[in-house]
A and B are shown apart, each in its own frame.
Chain A
Amino acid sequence: MPTAPAGTLYRGREGMWSWVAHRVTGVLIFFFLLVHVLDTALVRVSPEAYNAVIGTYQTPIMGLGEAGLVAAIVFHAFNGIRVALVDFWAKGPRYQRVMLWVVLGLFVVTMAGFLPRHLMNVFGGH
């Protein structure tokens, strides 16, 4: 069994922080997935039960939670492609830092497309 490590392998900067963010968003998405399968399973109980629970997903607070969830998924997706490129593309390791900025750029563009639409759906008084 290992004792306390003598030093640290963490090197900071873009490489480490994108890795940390990938882990944090991954765990978050995983736990939502467990809950999401459970809430969807209510369609086997009754239409009323499903509608009651899914109704709570349509409140303003949960609407903001969905925005955060989508943000986590979008980052994890684009950064995951970056990880695969670092591993499989010959020039990937050299461009890993540039690729993180591309990931963040695509993240901003995607969220700019999603957020107004979603927030209008949630807060738009339908």
Chain B
Amino acid sequence: MSTQTAIPTPRSPYARRKTTRGNYELYSWVFMRASGVLLVVLVFGHLFVNLMVGDGVKAIDFAFVGGKWASPFWQMWDLAMLWLAMIHGTNGVRTIINDYAERDVTRGILKSLLLVAFTFTVVLGTLVIFTFDPCPTDAPAELLASFCTA
């Protein structure tokens, strides 16, 4: 039986460990604030034009959407709103999942579902904006915007 205590060799002087994670969380924090400011303008404009002008929600139909998306201005407006809002919202929900789901498996599953919902919604929305035809030839004329028959 040895009575000697093994003394570890002296450590090298303290060196700050270089983080391997990058600045992802910093960028995400900055993005939330920057996109938030832009979204206030985009979403308030969207709500004003769709709910306040004219007959508001009662006036929304296929012809209304056709009239808006015939203009590249509203296409770009809605595209920017879709992407910014989806990234902003997804990142917010990611934060909430990280806060409340304590088990690694639960967190992983919830964040995978979130990623699927994000990808599906952004791809679908983007395709709809760019492939939309305001004047489908097989549709009744009275359901279409007035410029389709003019």
Contact = CB atoms under 8 A, between A and B. Distances in A.
A126 B36 CA distance: 36
**Chain A interface extent, by class:** 35 or more
Interface string A38-62: 1011011011101100100110000
B56 interface: yes
A16 interface: no
Given A80-B40, A118-B57, A121-B57, A40 B65 contact: yes
Contacts of B139: 46-48
Contacts, number: 116
Contacts of B65: 40, 43, 50
Nearest to A48: B143
B37 to A, nearest CB: 7
Q: Mostly helix, strand, loop or mixed at chain A's interface?
A: helix
Given A70-B47, A121-B55, A40 B128 contact: yes
Interface in B49-107: 51-52, 55-58, 60-63, 65-66, 82, 85-86, 89-90, 92-93, 96, 102-104
A114 B85 CA distance: 22
B52, B55, B89 interface centre (most CB from chain A within 10 Å): B89
A78 to B, nearest CB: 8
Contacts of A90: none
Q: Mostly helix, strand, loop or mixed at chain B's interface?
A: helix
Nearest to B29: A87
A100 interface: no
Given A2-B102, A47-B62, A117-B56, 8 more contacts: A23-B96, A33-B85, A44-B132, A47-B140, A58-B60, A66-B57, A77-B39, A80-B36
Interface of B: 33, 36-37, 39-40, 43-44, 47, 51-52, 55-58, 60-63, 65-66, 82, 85-86, 89-90, 92-93, 96, 102-104, 117, 121, 124-125, 127-128, 131-132, 136, 139-140, 143-144
5 contacts: A30-B93, A33-B85, A44-B131, A51-B61, A114-B47
